[in-house]
Chains A and B, each alone.
Chain A
Amino acid sequence: EAQVTQNPRYLITVTGKKLTVTCSQNMNHEYMSWYRQDPGLGLRQIYYSMNVEVTDKGDVPEGYKVSRKEKRNFPLILESPSPNQTSLYFCASSRPGNEQFFGPGTRLTVL
């Protein structure tokens, strides 16, 4: 089954404790992306990647890091999480210029 998987689905952590949210796709897509979704603000792109070792900033990259060492994986790293990073996070993948396939989401709470 073609899918995008994210782990964990739910995470509660404390300020400053480094965390990683994993994202994996099995569709051999070149393009992968991370978004955060907050009430009233919609989806905002954090980072995107056109292919292995190629990443670019989206609209809200501050406080986040990404890496693309393999085509199928695109982890999101929060090195020192803060409460304003409490949000619902989505990973997505696609062929460049085509529709995005979204993962199920990760709900992160930073205390």
Chain B
Amino acid sequence: EDQVTQSPEALRLQEGESSSLNCSYTVSGLRGLFWYRQDPGKGPEFLFTLYSAGEEKEKERLKATLTKKESFLHITAPKPEDSATYLCAVQANDYKLSFGAGTTVTVRA
């Protein structure tokens, strides 16, 4: 069975304090790994897709990386508007999607 584990569950940061979120996974054939951002009461919003080990993607203060067993989402110099729950998901070769429970990030001004 495919599994996705995210850590930590919650992260409190001071504005400007960089940190990393972890997503470790086991999947029967990785088609893609996805990162989403979710604000309270809303549907997840897409951030990145990573397809193969060694791949990196960047967008503003966020950078996602992928190895064969885990992915990291690095937040550089976060601002209060980066506060959200960040979700990791893996898609297997049969197109089934498995999500982690998420990391809730709070950035204080």
Contact = CB atoms under 8 A, between A and B. Distances in A.
B69 interface: no
Tell me the interface secondary structure of chain B in the complex: strand
Contacts of A98: 49
A43 B99 contact: yes
Contact count band on B? 20 to 34
A99 B101 contact: no
Interface stretch (A66-74, A78-86, A100-108): A100-108
Contact count band on A? 20 to 34
A11 to B, nearest CB: 16
15 contacts: A31-B95, A35-B99, A40-B101, A42-B6, A42-B102, A43-B44, A45-B96, A45-B99, A50-B95, A90-B44, A92-B43, A97-B95, A99-B34, A102-B43, A105-B41
Which 3 residue pairs spanning A and B have beta carbons closest together? A102-B43, A42-B101, A43-B99
Interface of A: 4, 31, 33, 35, 40-45, 48, 50, 56, 58-59, 90, 92, 96-105
